[in-house]
Amino acid sequence: MTTEKQTRGIDETFVKAFRESGLFALYEDHKDELFIGVRNNYLNLYYNCGNVAKVEYRRGEIICETSESYLSGTDISKHKNIPPRDICNNYAIIKGNIADRSTPEKKAQSRLVLLNNANDSSKWFCLDIEWRKGFESKQHRTDANFGARFDIIAISKENNHNVALIELKYGAQALGGDSGVYIHIENFSKYQEKGYFDTNENSHKKEIIEIIKSQKMLGINVPAELDNLETEWENSKAEDIKYSFYFITLDNNGETLEHSTPKQSMAGYLFTSRRWGCKKLSSGPKVEKEFGDVTSKSNKLQVSFLFSTQTLDNLSIDDIIDGGYDDKVIPQ
């Protein structure tokens, strides 16, 4: 019998079975490259933000689901259920096939999160990746107008444990189109307008509390500063707990006579006039026209932009927000 479905998280029975299945030992042996995502009564085990396995507790045992393409190296998109031992025994194969399919952006996303969480001095803890509201399926989504994923969710170890919702871009990839700057800003706006953080019955704040609880039960190295998160948030005024939106852009290189830097290209999607050294405005919809100047503190929606010239070959940023970025645009 499956355990009771929760807003986000797992229970002690699930945790015990997970640890006994060998999957936690796999995580411990490879935690420099693996991330456990806590979902609605299941877990996702990620490598390079690719899902090594969806892990569920059903009828008294742990069941894993993975992509046939990760097991066989073919383009078969079918998913199959296999026992945990087969995930452990085939991890090198699965990892290799995910690596072959991973974009530089997903590799960088994973690397940033792992570098941050391995750094005890970081002011932030990355608690989730590939976040989606309630993590509902498309068929059962409670809000049909919000199907977005946010790349990274981080929480501050300091103050009132503020939250950062982060989109990552690597180079000039995917600045336009269906996964572009405008769409991400639109989703930030919906998140804010609908009060997903703290006014919804199944608020993001509640999800975060459940994620932290589950991570601590699993034995993930959650910072001690978050041990009393639920109590601290309960005793804080709602307006004192802030959330902020961020774009992080890596590999901010490439300016030549013919080519713009990613920052310059991004400006073409953000603004109605040339800023940030922009050479050409996008012909598509402009963020500023619909949502205002998101880099202004007087604007209803505000977004911070962090830029680094670092690439996968030399990525060393180990504080996801306060790290050594070459350029920062913070609303002011």
Q: What is the pLDDT of residues 204-239, one digit of tens each?
A: 999 999 999 999 999 999 999 999 999 999 999 988
Out of 86-90, 138-142, 275-279, pick the least confident: 138-142
Q: 8-26 burial, b for 16+ CB within 10 Å, e for fewer?
A: bbbeeebbebbbebbbbeb
CB 264 within 8 A of CB 184: no
Beta bridge partners of 9: 40
pLDDT tens-digit map of 161-210 = 999 999 999 998 889 888 899 999 999 999 999 999 997 677 999 999 99
CB 130 within 8 A of CB 151: yes
Q: What is the mean pLDDT of the chain?
A: 92
Q: What are phi and psi of 60, to 5 degrees?
A: 85, 10
DSSP label at 22? Answer: T
Out of 104-113, 190-199, 289-298, 313-322, pick the least confident: 190-199
* pTM across the whole model: 0.93
Separation CA 47–CA 67 (nearest Å):
13
pLDDT band at 7 (very low <50, low <70, confident <90, very high): low
More confident residue, 253 or 134: 253
pLDDT band at 6 (very low <50, low <70, confident <90, very high): very low
CB 278 within 8 A of CB 264: yes
Map tokens 């060393």 to a residue. Answer: 316
212 three-state secondary structure: helix
Q: Where are the beta strands (DSSP E) in 134-242?
A: 149-156, 163-170
Q: Any idea what the Cα angle at residue 165 is, between residues 159 and 166, rounded to 5°?
A: 120
